[in-house]
Amino acid sequence: MELKELREKFDTIDDQIVDLFVERMKTSAQIAKLKRENGLAVRNASREREVLEHVMERAGDGLETYAKFLYQTMFEVSRSYQHRLLDDTGEFARQIRAAAERTPALFPQKGTVACQGVEGAYSQQACDRLFAMPRILYFRHFDGVFQAVQSGMCQYGVLPIENSSYGSVAQVYDLMRNYKFHIVRSIKLCVRHALLAKHGVALEDVKEIFSHEQALGQCSAYLKAHPEIKVTVCENTAAAARMVAESGRRDIAAISSVHCAELYGLHVLESKVQNNDNNYTRFICISKDLEIYPGANKISLMLSTQHRPGALYSLLAKFAALGINLTKLESRPIPGSDFEFIFYFDMEASVMSDTVLSMLSELMVEPDVFVFLGNYSEVV
């Protein structure tokens, strides 16, 4: 047969497949109604296994794997359709709607805000852009920020989450699963690092440089060009600048901001020592309570998947089916597990969409872990 004839045959087969697909979905709707009337769950894992065994056997050698993949996708589509028909959003939807109703129309101008580090830290700069009149409390470590928000000591907390040059802030991601919080806003801050030292100190005098590990990673090319200088990690870029200012040593320097040079009376030995001039750090603003402000268009989730082939693909297919753009996918190992991971998702979407809300409600049913971190907007 010629290619044209084979394609025409394809077209005829595809028409039949579409007709059968429509008929199958109509039947799926009838089953959904019966499940509701009888109080049955949408998913029936044993029934799915029976169907998979049958279709694989019927497909025969060489095609059984493809048949299995096709029908696993079909099951995902049918479950999603049934969830939507049943409007199976329940308590989750009520929590979302209640949060949206009690959230003010405008983001607050003031509040008590927790930041990691000391005065002059990049977290403080991000905080000052988010709030017009913040009352900032500083904490030495990231977990102190989470604890302050969860305990109610602070209304909000500001934390770095990722950098455009050096990637995710792993410490923050690892702490996120240990605390109850919600993301209410995010901001991207342009970060320009400088090498700071006491007045009168020259570059050739410097024997040791202090800074946070993220800043050191963002300035790796500069540090590689000076292998004779020892590099030491400390808890914060601003803390590094303050330490240099208060130290009696004149052979040390800090990688920090120009703002910290002014704040702590230091001299800028070299400016823009970061690897990339287009260097941005993304910060999240967290609160204890769920707040969803008008115009929120980013959603963050934390969830796990079943430890089986295709589990992550099945999850991603749900987002693709709704045309949702995933802007971030981060995996972190679960401590004490046998190479199992928890996933963090950022996406462009709003819970004000009924289809998105239905999908999120569907996701809550299957994973061992599902945490809705927030629906918020980002300040650029």
Q: 116 - beta bridge partners?
A: 139
| Burial class of residue 182 in the structure, from the number of CB atoms within 10 Å of its CB (0-12 exposed, 13-18 middle, 19+ buried) | buried
Contact 294, 184 (CB under 8 A): no
* H helix or E strand, kind and range, residue 57: helix 45-59
Catalytic residue among 75, 107, 131, 283: 283
Q: Give the C-alpha separation, 78 to 321, whole Å.
A: 12
Burial class (CB in 10 A: 0-12, 13-18, 19+), 20: exposed
Assigned token pair, 138? 């500083």
Pairing of strands 208-211, 325-333: unpaired
Torsion sign across C-alpha atoms 122, 125, 127, 133: positive
DSSP code, position 248 = S
Catalytic, out of 89, 237, 281, 305: 281
* Residue 281 known to be catalytic: yes
In the block, residue with structure tokens 């028409």: 15
The string over 85-106, giving b where at least 16 C-beta atoms fall within 10 Å of a residue's C-beta and e elsewhere, is: bbebbeebbeebeebbeebeee
d(CA 109, CA 226): 44
Count other C-beta atoms under 10 Å from residue 177's C-beta. Answer: 15
Q: Say whether 103 is catalytic.
A: no
Residues annotated as catalytic (active site), given as ranges: 281, 283
